[in-house]
Amino acid sequence: MNKRVVITGMGAITPVGTGVEKFWENLISGVCGIDKISRFDPSEYNTQIAGEVNDFNATDFIDKKEARRMDRFTQFAVAATGMALKDAGLDLEKEKRDRIGVIIGSGIGGMETLWQQAQTLINRGPKRISPFFVPMMIANMGAGQVAISYGLQGPNLTAVSACASSNNAVGDAFKLLQRGDADVMITGGSEAPITQLSVAGFCAMKAMSTRNDEPQKASRPFDAERDGFIMGEGAGILVMETLEHAQARGARIYAEIVGYGSTCDAYHITAPDPEGEGAARAMQIALQDAGLRPEDVDYINAHGTSTPLNDKLETKAIKRVFGDHAKKLLVSSTKSMTGHLLGAAGAVEALVCVLSIINGVVPPTINYEVPDPECDLDYVPNKARKKEVKVAMSNSLGFGGHNVTTVFKKYEE
């Protein structure tokens, strides 16, 4: 079976705004959500800045008692799902709930709970560990709690592939719908990694920017003076349906998902393949899956982490796939504004692709000031650009050599 799959609902919780409308408005205005970490005292850390979500109150979306039994990443997932379901106008009372599934990606899962409970063990002993510790921490609980909260009994799983997690989730949900295993899928990603332990870990790897005095200029993908990524938190959720199901209920259709490619570099635990071969293959597979030519693509939302290696190798991979057309493409990294949401990044960036198609606007790569000769594409520097986007591509690359590409297309009957 090869059913068409469409996007009918979206929810977003990000460092530049909670709710899709606020998120998009700030993105196209070039607003940066990166600032000094407020969730703990970061003064002893080499990196003291992050993209925090500051306008989220869990009890606006979740019963207070239930919210206390969820890690922050799970709260994000459940809340963003509620937004997306409302946006889709999906009346669950009229649906076959065993035909609605959930795939939500998370690279780390309940890091906040893990850190808090480790402190409890050290300071107060094993008898004071919460019975909710394990079910709050495990990475599948975002998907599990979404299903429990909304009574969704279809296929349910979690993609864990580091920074590619939620792009894998979106792609896997697409394939599940395409082959007819469900009518509706709730998909995307959620991450809440801003804790002392995880920040210390990434600092030890020297993976993050240390531009602490200029937090809003620290994430600068493709710029010659980039010095590392900035960690972010949040969630992006999409409601995806088979076209026939969406049409039968008279749903508003935002866009269509048409392609998915997934590969592995099999090269190094953190560094990408120096030729960008695995990333290039993921893009090629996604295009082939979509039945599109390279010249059909208008916009790529790049993985674009602002690390010295990633940006030049992703550029190399794009040029390898698109040839002469690479110079005509618009390529931007919205991580320049949101920071890097790790396992949730791909889902949030899938929303960006859909929103660019709907609105005919491509968000910018902010902080692009000093050109890098090894990064020589059109990165939509510093200001959003009006552009009819018929086909948009989203790239995600993760530790472990994971490469994922999804392709979205303007919906036409």
DSSP β-bridge partners for residue 36:
49
Catalytic (active site) residue 325: no
Catalytic (active site) residue 340: yes
Instruction: Return the percent helix, strand and coil in the chain, to nearest 5.
Output: 40, 20, 40
Catalytic residue among 32, 203, 245, 340: 340
What's the length of the chain? 413
Sequence-separated (6 or more) residues with CB below 8 Å from residue 252? 8, 89
Catalytic residue among 163, 203, 353, 375: 163
Catalytic residue among 32, 303, 353, 375: 303
Contact assessment for residue 117 and residue 141, using Cβ atoms and an 8 Å cutoff: no
- For residue 232, give the DSSP letter: B
72-to-76, 108, 232, 310 alpha-carbon distances in Å:
6, 12, 13, 29
Contact assessment for residue 16 and residue 172, using Cβ atoms and an 8 Å cutoff: no
SS3 206: coil
Could you give the CA distance from residue 19 to residue 248 in angstroms, rounded to a whole number? 27
Could you give the CA distance from residue 139 to residue 105 in angstroms, rounded to a whole number? 8
Closest CA to 62 of 133, 156, 155, 150: 150
- For residue 192, give the DSSP letter: -
- Rg of the chain, C-alpha, whole Å: 20
Catalytic (active site) residue 245: no
Q: Where are the beta strands (DSSP E) in 203-323?
A: 234-242, 255-264, 299-301
State the burial class of residue 148 (Cβ atoms within 10 Å of its Cβ: 0-12, 13-18, 19+).
Answer: middle
291-to-2, 260, 286, 407, 408 alpha-carbon distances in Å:
13, 11, 9, 11, 12
Q: Which amino acid is at 192?
A: A
- For residue 59, give the DSSP letter: G
Secondary structure element (H or E) that encloses residue 249, with its range:
none
Closest CA to 352 of 401, 306, 396: 396
Closest CA to 192 of 238, 120, 139: 139
Residues noted as catalytic:
163, 303, 340
